[in-house]
Amino acid sequence: MGDNVHVDVLILGAGPAGLMAAAWMAQTGVQTLLVEQRPYGTQNGRADGLESRTLEILDSFGLADKIWAEANHTVEIALWSESDAGILQREGISANTEPGWSRFYESTLGQGRVEEHLLNFIQSNRHINIRQATIPTSLEIDYNTVEDHGSYPIRVQLDKAAPTAFPGRGNARPSSDPSTPSSESSMALNSDDSAIGGMGTVVKAKYLVGCDGAHSWLRKQLGVGLEGESSGHHWGVLDIVPITNFPDIRKRFIVKSKFGTLMMVPRERRLVRVYVELSPTTSAQYTEQPNPTIIMNQVSGIMQPYVMKTNHIDWYTTYKVGQRLCPKVSFHNRIFLAGDAIHTHSPKAGQGMNVSMQDTYNLGWKLASVIYGASPPDILDTYAQERLPIAQRLLQLDQRICRGMCRIEGSDLVPRGNFDEDHKRAIREENTSASGLTATYQPNQLISPAAETEDAKGASFVSKPHLAETIKLGARIPSQLVLSQSDSQAYHLQQIFRSTGQWNLIIFGGNISKTEQMARVHHQADALSNPESYFQQLNKASAVRGGVGSVRVYLVHSADRNSIDIFSLPAIFRPLCDDGGIDYSRVLVDNKSYHHPGGGELYKTFGIHPEGCMVLLRPDQHVAFLSSMDDIHGLQGFLSTCTCL
C-alpha cells in the first residue's frame, strides 16, 4: 500500500497493442509493468481478423505456429448480389488473400485466444509484471528531467479498479466492456502482489505507453482527442453457429440484397462472425431493448430465400460506423499512444487487432534500444512519423469499404445491391497493402534515402535500391524459400530474422562459385571483421546489452551449394559458439529444395544485381539501408547515426 516502484516502461492496457509492446519488452529483458483495468482476459467476441503481416510478426516471436493451427484460414471471398429477377446470386468468388505476398494469409481467431498466446509468452519472462483489475488515477510529468533519458520523469498513481459486474452475453460498447467469460476459457492474468504493491501504488517510469483503447484514459489526460465524425449508420455484430442452407457459409462473403447488406466471416469452433447493417427502424428497436434476436432477424431477412437461423449466439454488439484519428501520438518521446487509442474505424476490414499490434511492434524495439543505450533517444521521433500515415491510410480504406456497404443515410430503403469497382478494389487492397505487407516507411533517421532522390539531398549515407529491384526501402523484407548451406534444410527467409532487438545484415553475395563474387564476399567480410570497424565495435558494445542493437550478419548466395565448402567462406559467416561448436546458421543458399516448393527463386524475384548487394534490416525486419557490397563506408556511417557504441 502506498509504495513506490520504478520501471523502465509502464504499459496501460493488455489488449493486442499492449501485449505486443510487452512482448518486445519480454524478449529484450526491459523492466516493465503492464496494467489492465479488467480482472480477466477477453472471453469471446471483439476483434478476430489476423492479417498476413501480423502472422509474420507473431512468427518472429515464435508464436505463429500455434495461432495458425488454431485459427480458421479464410481462403476465399464470395460476393452475392441480386439478379435482374431480384434473386440472390453469387456474383463472384476469389482468393481472399492475394497468393504469393506472404507465407501466411488472412485467418480468424478470437482476440481472447491471440491475447492468451501473447500473455503466455510474456509471462515466461521475469522482467514483466502484470497487474489486472487496476486503473491509473493520476499522471504527472517532470518536465525538468524529461530530456534526460536516464531519469524517471513520469509518475502514475495506480488504484484497484471498481469491481466489474459481469455484463450479459452481449454488450453495446465493444471497445470497453467484455462479455460473460465462459469458465473453461477463463484466463488468469499473472498477479504479483509482492513485486508491485496493491492500492495506491505510485509508479515512476521512464516511458509510458497508452494502449488503453478507444476511450483512452491516457489520451484524455494528455488533452488530445480523436478527430473525425461518426456516421449515422448502425451495424450489428454477432458470433453464431449458423443453421443454414447457404452454400458459401464457410467462406467469407458479402451479401447485398434489397433487404440490406451483411458480411460474414467463418471462424474457429464452427462459429461465424456476422456484420449486418441495421435499418433505422431495427436500430431504434435495438436501442430500446438490446436483444440479439433483433439483429438476427435482420440477418435472416437479408439472406432470404436461404435459411439462416441459430441456436447458439456466442457474442453480440452494435456499433456506429466512423473513422476517427488522434493527430498526436507521442509526447516528449516519453509518452506514446497506440492502437484504438489513436485510431477507431469500422471492424469490417478486419484490421483493428492488426494495425494495433503493428503500432507497438514498431514502437517496442525502439524503446528497448533507447533504454539499453543502443540507440539515441531521437529515434523515437520515427514512431509518429511512421505510424500516423499508416493510420490515415487505414481510415481512408475503411471509408471506401463502408461507402460500398452502407445504405443511404437515415433510410429504411435499400438501393438494389451491387458491387462497384472501387468497393471490389478496396476489398482486394485490404489483404495486401492494408494488411501491413506493403507498409512502407518514408526516409527518416532509421530509413536511409535512395540516392538521387529528393530525400537524399543533404543525406550523408544513401541507399542504392536498384541493386535489388523488389526490395523496398522502408518496407518489410519480402520472403522466399532458402536452404541452409550446411544441411540443406529449407526456411522462409523471414523466419531467420527473429524479433530479438538485433539488426540483421544480409549479404546477397551472388554466384560465389565465380572468383570475382567470392572475392567481393571476402573483401566485405575482411572489412566487417576488422576489430577497429564500427561494426565490430557496435557488436562488442551490444554484448553487455543482451545483444540489443547488435548486427547479425548472413550470407545468402546463389551458387550451387554443393560447389561451396562452408569452410572456404570467411569466418564471420561461421562464428564460434561457447561450447566450441560452430553456428552453421549464417550461410543460406538460393537453391531448389527436395521437399518444399519455391526454392531457387529468391534472386530472380528480388531482382538482385549480378554483383550482389547488402541489405540492412532493422529489428522489425524493415529495410533500413541497401547498397553495394563494397559500400562499407555507407553501411557503417548509416549505422552510426542510429546506434550508439
Minimum distance, C-beta of residue 243 to a copy of itself, in the bound complex (Å): 5
Residue-wise over 602-626: b if at least 16 C-beta within 10 A, else e? Answer: bbeebebbeebbbbbbbbbbbbbbb
Minimum distance, C-beta of residue 180 to a copy of itself, in the bound complex (Å): 18
Q: Work out which of 162, 165, 543, 577 binds a copy of itself, going by CB under 8 A.
A: 577
Which grid coordinates belong to 312? 447458439
Which residues between 46 and 65 bind a copy of itself (CB under 8 A)?
65
Query: If you write DSSP's letter for every residue of 217-275 in order, what string do you get?
Result: HHHHHTT---BS-EEEEEEEEEEEEEEE--TTTTSEEEEEETTEEEEEEE-GGG-EEEE
- Piece of the chain touching a copy of itself by CB under 8 A; list 94-102, 174-182, 337-345, 629-637: 94-102
Residue 518, CA distances (Å) to 97, 504, 507, 528, 589 in order: 40, 21, 12, 15, 14
Among residues 120, 415, 384, 105, the alpha carbon closest in space to that of 256 is found at 415
Query: Nearest 5°: CA angle at 389, between 216 and 22?
Result: 45
- Piece of the chain touching a copy of itself by CB under 8 A; list 308-316, 326-334, 336-344, 624-632: 308-316
Given the complex with a copy of itself, which of 15 and 242 has the nearer CB atom?
Answer: 242
**Residue corresponding to grid cell 523515437:** 380
Asked if 268 touches a copy of itself (CB under 8 A), the answer is no
Among residues 299, 287, 257, 637, the alpha carbon closest in space to that of 460 is found at 637
Asked if 580 touches a copy of itself (CB under 8 A), the answer is yes
Q: Work out which of 6, 126, 173, 270 binds a copy of itself, going by CB under 8 A.
A: 270
Minimum distance, C-beta of residue 440 to a copy of itself, in the bound complex (Å): 24
Asked if 313 touches a copy of itself (CB under 8 A), the answer is no
Q: Work out which of 75, 135, 161, 527 binds a copy of itself, going by CB under 8 A.
A: 75
Minimum distance, C-beta of residue 581 to a copy of itself, in the bound complex (Å): 4
Given the complex with a copy of itself, which of 100 and 200 has the nearer CB atom?
Answer: 100
Minimum distance, C-beta of residue 346 to a copy of itself, in the bound complex (Å): 24
Minimum distance, C-beta of residue 316 to a copy of itself, in the bound complex (Å): 17
* DSSP 8-state assignment for residue 642: H
Given the complex with a copy of itself, which of 204 and 251 has the nearer CB atom?
Answer: 251
Q: Do residues 345 and 351 make contact, with C-beta atoms less than 8 angstroms apart?
A: yes
Q: Work out which of 105, 497, 503, 508 binds a copy of itself, going by CB under 8 A.
A: 105
CA 557 to chain centre: 30
Minimum distance, C-beta of residue 598 to a copy of itself, in the bound complex (Å): 8
- Piece of the chain touching a copy of itself by CB under 8 A; list 139-147, 307-315, 376-384, 600-608: 307-315
Minimum distance, C-beta of residue 476 to a copy of itself, in the bound complex (Å): 19
Minimum distance, C-beta of residue 72 to a copy of itself, in the bound complex (Å): 8
Reported as half-sphere exposure (CB side, CA atoms, 13 A), residue 464 has a value of: 14
Given the complex with a copy of itself, which of 272 and 553 has the nearer CB atom?
Answer: 272
- Piece of the chain touching a copy of itself by CB under 8 A; list 126-134, 391-399, 424-432, 587-595: 587-595
Given the complex with a copy of itself, which of 351 and 585 has the nearer CB atom?
Answer: 585
Which residues between 184 and 243 bind a copy of itself (CB under 8 A)?
241-243
Number of residues that bind a copy of itself (CB under 8 A): 46
> How many other C-beta atoms lie within 10 A of the C-beta of residue 399?
18
- Piece of the chain touching a copy of itself by CB under 8 A; list 216-224, 359-367, 378-386, 577-585: 577-585
Q: Work out which of 31, 70, 73, 403 binds a copy of itself, going by CB under 8 A.
A: 73
Upstream peptide bond of 305 is cis (omega within 30 degrees of 0): yes
Among residues 138, 161, 158, 162, the alpha carbon closest in space to that of 200 is found at 158
Q: Work out which of 81, 97, 171, 627 binds a copy of itself, going by CB under 8 A.
A: 97
Length of the chain: 645
Which residues make beta-bridge pairs with 622?
476
Given the complex with a copy of itself, which of 312 and 320 has the nearer CB atom?
Answer: 312
- Piece of the chain touching a copy of itself by CB under 8 A; list 245-253, 394-402, 420-428, 527-535: 245-253
Q: Do residues 346 and 49 make contact, with C-beta atoms less than 8 angstroms apart?
A: no
Among residues 195, 241, 175, 252, the alpha carbon closest in space to that of 17 is found at 175
Show the site string, 544-573: x = touches a copy of itself by CB under 8 A, - = not.
Answer: ------------------x--xxx------
Q: Exposure of 150 by Cβ count < 10 A (0-12 exposed, 13-18 middle, 19+ buried)?
A: exposed
* DSSP 8-state assignment for residue 498: -
- What are the counts of helices (DSSP H) followed by strands (DSSP E) for the chain? 15, 27
- Piece of the chain touching a copy of itself by CB under 8 A; list 95-103, 134-142, 383-391, 449-457: 95-103
Element holding 101 (H helix, E strand)? none
Per the rule left: phi > 0, alpha: psi between -120 and 50, beta: everything else, 386 is alpha
Which residues between 433 and 492 bind a copy of itself (CB under 8 A)?
484, 486-490
Q: Work out which of 4, 120, 138, 245 binds a copy of itself, going by CB under 8 A.
A: 245
* DSSP 8-state assignment for residue 446: T
Given the complex with a copy of itself, which of 593 and 628 has the nearer CB atom?
Answer: 593
Rounded Cα gap, residues 563 and 566, in angstroms? 10
Helix-strand-coil percent breakdown of the chain, rounded to 5?
A: 30, 25, 40
Which chain residues interact with a copy of itself by CB under 8 A? 65, 69, 72-76, 93, 95, 97, 99, 105, 241-243, 245, 247, 249-251, 266, 270, 310-312, 484, 486-490, 562, 565-567, 577, 579-582, 584, 593-595, 597-598
